[in-house]
């Protein structure tokens, strides 16, 4: 084999290893507990907004880029979330939140939120089909 072929194979193998290692970091969702174990690493956590036992706090006059709320992850653990941005529109109506961020001193510092909102057609569903007589 030529040296150039061997070098090309080594470069391809290195590129594949780098791609696989990057994909592995964001392939799964974590919980607040697993994010707490690695405080300097960024995670994606899926949760639900909790406004019953903890109020949301957003004061656009004091700090328009700080919004805090509490969320419960899929394992049932409650955590304070601090979003570094303005409060999203219709945030209270969201069914599920996908939050990207890091844990710092027991608070999930969130840099990005994706909201799953209820369908506006949910209440307008109509059954279609034959009725038995």
The tokens 């656009």 sit on which residue?
A: 60
pLDDT computed for residue 28 by the predictor = 74
Rounded to 5 degrees, φ, ψ at 56 are -80, 155
Q: How many residues does the chain have?
A: 133
Show pLDDT as tens, one digit a residue, over the chain (133 residues).
778 878 777 778 777 766 666 555 545 788 998 888 888 889 899 999 988 888 999 998 998 899 999 999 999 999 999 998 888 888 888 888 999 999 998 899 999 999 887 765 555 444 433 444 4
Q: Where are the domains of the chain?
A: 28-116
pTM of the full structure: 0.67
pLDDT score recorded for residue 89? 85
DSSP sequence for 68-94 = EEEEEETTS-EEEEEESSPPPTTGGG-
Q: How far apart are CA 114 and CA 46, in angstroms?
A: 9
125 contact partners, CB below 8 Å, separation of at least 6: none
The first and second tokens of residue 58, run together, are: 């957003």
CA 57 to chain centre: 20
* pLDDT of res. 23: 56
Rounded Cα distance, 34 and 15, in Å: 29
Tell me what pLDDT residue 125 has.
42
Give me the architecture of the 28-116 domain, per CATH: Beta Barrel (2.40)
């Amino acid at each position: 084999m030529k040296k150039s072929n061997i070098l090309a194979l080594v470069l391809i193998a290195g590129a594949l290893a780098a791609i696989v290692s990057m994909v592995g970091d964001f392939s799964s969702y974590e919980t607040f507990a697993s994010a707490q174990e690695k405080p300097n690493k960024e995670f994606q956590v899926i949760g639900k907004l909790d406004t019953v036992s903890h109020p949301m706090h957003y004061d656009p006059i004091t700090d328009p880029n700080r919004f805090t709320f509490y969320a419960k992850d899929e394992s049932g653990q409650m955590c304070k979330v601090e979003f570094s941005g303005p409060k999203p529109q219709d945030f209270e109506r969201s069914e599920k939140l996908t939050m990207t961020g890091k844990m710092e001193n027991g608070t999930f510092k969130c840099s990005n939120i994706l909201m799953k909102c209820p369908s506006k057609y949910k209440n307008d569903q109509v059954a279609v089909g034959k009725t038995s007589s």
